[in-house]
Every structure is written in C-alpha cells, then in structure tokens.
Amino acid sequence: MGKKHDKKAEPAAGKTPKSMKVDKAVKKFRKLEGKLWTREYLLKIAEFDGATIAPANGAAARADAMGTLAGEHHKLLTSEKSVELVRSLARETVAGGKIDDPQLLDEIRVLGRDQREASVIPTEEAEAWTRLTCEADAVWHKAKTANDWASFEPYVDRIVAQLKHQAELMDPKRDPYDVWLDQYERGLSAKSFDAFCDEVKATVVPLVHAIGERGQQPAADFLHARVPEAAQRAMSFDLMKLVGLDLNDTTLAFTEHPFSEGFAVGDARIATHIYEDDCISNVYSIIHEAGHAMYELGVNPAYARTRLEGGTSMGIHESQSRFFENTVGRSRAFMGPLLEVLRRHAPEVYGSVDEDTLYHAVNIARPSLIRTEADELTYPLHVMVRYEIERMLFAGEATAKDIPALWNRFMDEYLAFPFPTTRTAACRIRTGAVARLATSPRMRWVAPTTLCLCRPCAATASTLPVPVRAAIWRPSVPGWASTFGSGAVPRTHRSSSRARAAWTLTPATTAATCRTSSPRCTSCKA
C-alpha cells in the first residue's frame, strides 16, 4: 500500500506555493482596507450629522463616540499585525515584482505611508484630537452666531499646539507647517507657496486696488432682494440637477456654512446656508459644492473602499469645485439656464432681469468679507490672509488673541479692506481650525463687524469717521455688515484710500435684517 495522498498539500493548478501565499496576503490586505474604510465612513456620518441636523446638546456625546471610533481606527491601522502585513507585501511582492497590478501597488504604497505617519502618534492622542476638534466645532457654531470670539479663542491655541506636536512626531527635522501642508497637498511646502504668493502680491493686489479706485461697478440691487428660504430650498435642488447631479447620488442639507463630503460610490453629500437677502450666495454655494460632489462621484468605482477612494488631493478637489462655480457658473452661456431657474422660484425678483445684466452682476469684482462669496480676482487674496496668519501661529509669532488684529492688517494690506480699530472685528475659524490650513477647500475664517444696517444703525453710522464708515457700510446691501461665514471640514482623511473711494456711505432707504442669530443687534438692540 502506497503513501497516503495529502490533497491539502497539493497546490492549485497553475499556482505555486509562493503565488498562493501572495494571494492570501492580498486578501488579508483587502479585508484590512475594508475595515478601515468602514470606520472612516462612520466618522464621516457622525461629522456630517453634527454639522447639519444634530441637536446642539448632543455635541458632548458625539465627541465621545467619535473619539472612541477614531481610536479604534488608529489601533487597527497601526497594529503590529497590520503593519507587518503591509510591509511584507511591499518587501516580498512589490519589490520582488510579484504584483503587477498598478492599482494594488498604489494601494499598498498609500496604506504604508498612512501607517508610517499614524504610528508615531499614540492612540490616546488620536482619540483626544478627535474629541477636541468635535468639541471645538460645537463651540464654533455658537460663537459664530453670537459674535463671541472670546469663547472660541482658547480652542485655536489648543489646536495649534496639538498640530505642532503631531508634526514633530511625524517629522522632527521639518518645519511643522510644512509637515501639515504636505498632509493636505502632497509635495507642497511653504517655500513653494511663498513663491506663488509673491506673484499674486505683485499682480493681483495692485489690480484689486486699481479697480477700487476707479469705483465703477454694474448696478445689481436685485442681487439682494428678498427671496424666502422655502423658495431657495426648492431652487437648490433644481440647481443641483442643472449642473448634472443625479439626486439619487447625493443629498442636500442645511448648515451654518456650505461644505461637502464624499462618503462612497453613489454617495456624495452637500450642505448649504441660506440668506433670504442674498439668494446668489446660496446659488453659487450650491454650484460650488456640487462641483465637489461631481468630482467625488466621478472617481473610478474600482477604487471603492480602498485607500485610493475619493479625490486625489485638496488642491485638485478645490479646482473642480471652482471650475463649476466660476468657469461654468459665471460664464455668459450659463446665464440662460441659471436665469430660468431663478425666474421659476423668484419671478418677482428675476422676472425683469435679462441675461446680460445677470452676467455682469455675478462677475462684479470687489473686496468682501467672505471668502466663499469672493470673486475670482479677490479669492486668492482671502487665501493669502489665512496663510499669513497660519504661518505666524505655527512659528510662534502669534497666538489666538492676536488673530483679530492680524486679520484686519492683512485684509487692509491685500484687499484694501480696513476695519475700525474701535470696534470688534473678530475672526472665526471652523472646527479643526488651523488643521484645515490654507489649502483646504472649505477653510472657515470670518471677520464681522458688530454694526447692523437697520435704520437706527444707519443713523449711527453717519456720525462715524469715513474710514470706519467704509468698513461697516456697503450701499444697497442690507445686512451685509453683520454677515458671518466662510468654511471647512477636512477629509477623514486676500490702501485704505481705495476702500474710502469704493465704500462710500449712502443713506439707508430700506430696513435691513441682521444675519446674526444674536437676539439683539449690539448697536440698536433690535
């Protein structure tokens, strides 16, 4: 009787023991990717919920839950077993030429990089970081509506300190700010961004000042006519369809400030904010965020639930949203379809507006407080304001208490937009604060004044010095002075003489409604 035949020891047809070992390792790798993706998905769900529909009093519980989930994600990502699996694949199969699938090679490379960067940060710190930013977000929402910079200020210092600490852990030989720039836009450094800013300062800044000194702008009072919130909500869905979104692939929520997030294949969500006296703000917020969603939904489905899912970088992501917002959304050819939607939902405002008038109105170039509502010319200057402040925070040259003054300084320097030194002009930074960096597509900083434009305030404003009036008044734009806004959520993965010329005080002819949620205007108590 011969030896007993062991079928288990017999390799599959055409398979060598080594190739079978590789296949087994790849299956484990895919399983690891899926588990990591699930945890990231749940974190996004909680974050989106917190920014849109979650009750304010649920913030503490959400912070705890998200912190715990972030800790579990970190443990799985950095466990000895997970690290060794990725290392073995890279060492024995990638380097050895045993894997020829380019996508799989990239997945292994990216996950290996993520592990190296995360492994130097203790799990406890990863949990604490998520809790901190979640708590900061809740505080920010209240501070923004109450114009209460002081309540949010401590969080900025805490966040900057944590970011600097994490950067040192990841790469102690590099400037902390460079470490984080590389996280949000791979390969970007302060040196390269400085070169870009120098070009902008030499070309765009003088042009902005020259336009202001000329003082000629198209008449566009209709842009700030009242359009009820209900009409704007219905309009938003039509705008989403207009730019090509399938509503089965996305949803629309309403929040303090517009943002978007890609969740999965066939699931990209956007959120907007509605001002009844500024319908166009919502129009272009929708188009912008729809651009982000279109990009996410256009990513190769083969990357689903892998380390390659989602946009390739923050910069590319923003280029897509700005393309839809400006190259498409502000083009002459787009005015016909856009006007059709506007007339459908606000015929009393846009029924008599023609395409050429709308085209000129939505392409007005002038300084403003709000980055996301800035025109194409002044938009990069808003980014530069944030960049300059962030650099100083990371270099230890400033702290959170210095931000309001720095904000005013750079707004004046780049946008020729001075703020009164006798009144509060506070910055607002959205959750994660400086963690979003200037490269983030949705960074949220704000510098509001505290004077509204109701009739009593208008009377008060007429008694103020010209530079002060210039900073708190914009003709025919009710409620502008108390506008707050401008936005960010990271993936879980811009001479006073110009302002005085352009912002001339004119008498108030209509009552205005403050956009702040504060019970009373700080000046008129309305």
Is residue 134 in a domain? Answer: no
- What CA–CA distance (Å, rounded) separates 190 from 184? 13
Q: Give the model's pLDDT for residue 145.
A: 85
Residue 196: is its pLDDT beyond 50? yes
Whether residue 468 contacts residue 420, with contact meaning beta carbons closer than 8 Å, is answered with yes
Positive or negative torsion for Cα 46, 49, 50, 51: positive
Q: Are 67 and 134 in contact (CB under 8 A)?
A: yes
CA-to-CA separations, 479 to 217, 280, 371, 429, 439, in angstroms, rounded: 20, 15, 17, 21, 30
Taking 80 as the threshold, does the pLDDT of residue 460 lie above it? no
φ, ψ (nearest 5 deg) of residue 102: -60, -35
Average pLDDT over residues 452-456: 33
Q: Is 37 exposed, middle or buried (0-12, 13-18, 19+ CB in 10 A)?
A: middle
**pLDDT tens, residue by residue, 292-346:** 999 999 999 999 999 999 998 888 999 999 999 999 999 999 999 999 999 999 9
Which structure tokens are listed for 17? 């023991």
Burial class (CB in 10 A: 0-12, 13-18, 19+), 377: middle
The CA distances from residue 411 to 384, 420, 434, 471, 516, in Å, are 9, 12, 18, 11, 22
CA distances from 7 to 4, 11, 12, 286 (A): 9, 8, 10, 62
Average pLDDT over residues 154-164: 97
For the record, the structure tokens of 419 come out as 């703020």
Instruction: Give CA angle at 481 (478, 483), nearest 5°.
Output: 90
- The answer to whether the CB of 375 falls within 8 A of the CB of 367 is no
Phi, psi torsion values for 511, nearest 5 degrees: -70, 150
Per-residue pLDDT at 446 exceeds 50: no
pLDDT at 455 over 50: no
Residue 45 belongs to a domain: yes
Mean pLDDT of 14-34: 85
**For the segment 234-287, what is each residue's pLDDT rounded down to a tens digit?**
999 999 999 999 999 999 999 988 999 999 999 999 999 999 999 999 999 999
For range 455-471, the mean pLDDT: 32
Residue 451's pLDDT band (boundaries 50, 70, 90)?
Answer: very low
pLDDT, tens digit, for every residue of 340-376?
Answer: 999 999 999 999 999 999 999 999 888 888 888 888 8
Other Cβ atoms less than 10 A from the Cβ of 317: the count is 24
Please state the φ and ψ torsions of residue 259, each to the nearest 5 degrees. Answer: -160, 175
Residue 178: which pLDDT band, with cuts at 50, 70 and 90? very high
The string of DSSP letters for 54-122 reads S-GGGHHHHHHHHHHHHHHHHHHHH-HHHHHHHHHIIIIIITTT----HHHHHHHHHHHHHHHHHHTS-
In a domain, 83, yes or no: yes
What pLDDT is stored for residue 15 in this prediction?
A: 60
More confident position, 430 or 54:
54
pLDDT bin (cut points 50, 70, 90) of residue 214 is confident
Contacts of 479 (CB under 8 A, 6+ apart): 275, 277, 278, 452, 453, 512, 513, 514, 515
- Is 62 a member of any domain? yes
Percent of the chain past pLDDT 70, that is, above it, reads: 76
Which domain does 86 fall in, by range?
17-119
Per-residue buried b or exposed e for 460-496, using 16+ beta carbons within 10 Å of the residue's own CB: ebeebeebbbbbbbbeebbbbbbbbbbbbbbbbebee
Question: What integer pLDDT is reported at residue 484 of this predicted model?
Answer: 25
The angle subtended at Cα 517 by Cα 512 and Cα 518, nearest 5°, is: 95
**Mean pLDDT, all residues of the chain:** 80
The segment with the largest mean pLDDT, out of 6-10, 202-206, 350-354, 452-456, is: 350-354
Q: List the strands of the sheet with 267-272, edge to edge.
A: 250-254, 267-272, 259-264
81 in a structural domain: yes
Find the distance separating the first CA and the last CA of the chain, reported in whole Å.
102
Give the whole-angstrom CA distance, residue 315 versus residue 321.
10
For the chain, give me the number of helices (H) and strands (E)? Answer: 19, 5
Please give the pLDDT value at position 274.
95
Question: Quick one: pLDDT band at residue 16, thresholds 50, 70, 90?
Answer: low
Whether residue 401 lies inside any domain: the answer is no
Output the pLDDT for position 374.
Answer: 84
Q: What local confidence, expressed as pLDDT, does residue 10 receive?
A: 56
Does residue 259 sit in helix, strand or coil?
Answer: strand
pLDDT digits (tens, 9 = 90+) for 61-112: 999 999 999 999 999 999 999 999 999 999 888 777 888 899 999 999 999 9
Q: For residue 430, which amino acid is it?
A: R
Higher per-residue pLDDT: 21 or 192: 192
Query: What single string gives the DSSP state of each residue in 242-253?
Result: HTT--TTSEEEE
Q: Residue 174: which residues within 8 A CB-CB, separation 6 or more?
A: 167
Nearest-angstrom CA–CA distance, 249 and 324: 18
Q: Rounded to whole angstroms, how far apart are CA atoms 162 and 131?
A: 12
Q: Within a domain: residue 185?
A: no
Compute the distance between CA of residue 251 and CA of residue 267 in angstroms, rounded to an integer: 8
Sign, CA torsion 244/44/393/168: negative
Are the C-beta atoms of residues 261 and 52 closer than 8 Å to each other?
no
Average pLDDT over residues 418-430: 43
Number of domains in the chain: 1
pLDDT higher than threshold 50 for residue 233? yes
Has residue 147 been placed in a domain?
Answer: no
Burial of 234 (0-12, 13-18, 19+ CB in 10 A): middle
Distance CA 181, CA 187 (A): 8
Kindly tell me if the per-residue pLDDT of 489 is higher than 50.
Answer: no
Q: How many whole angstroms separate alpha carbon 525 and alpha carbon 513?
A: 12
Residue 253's DSSP bridge partners are: 271
> Could you give the CA distance from residue 359 to residue 334 in angstroms, rounded to a whole number?
9
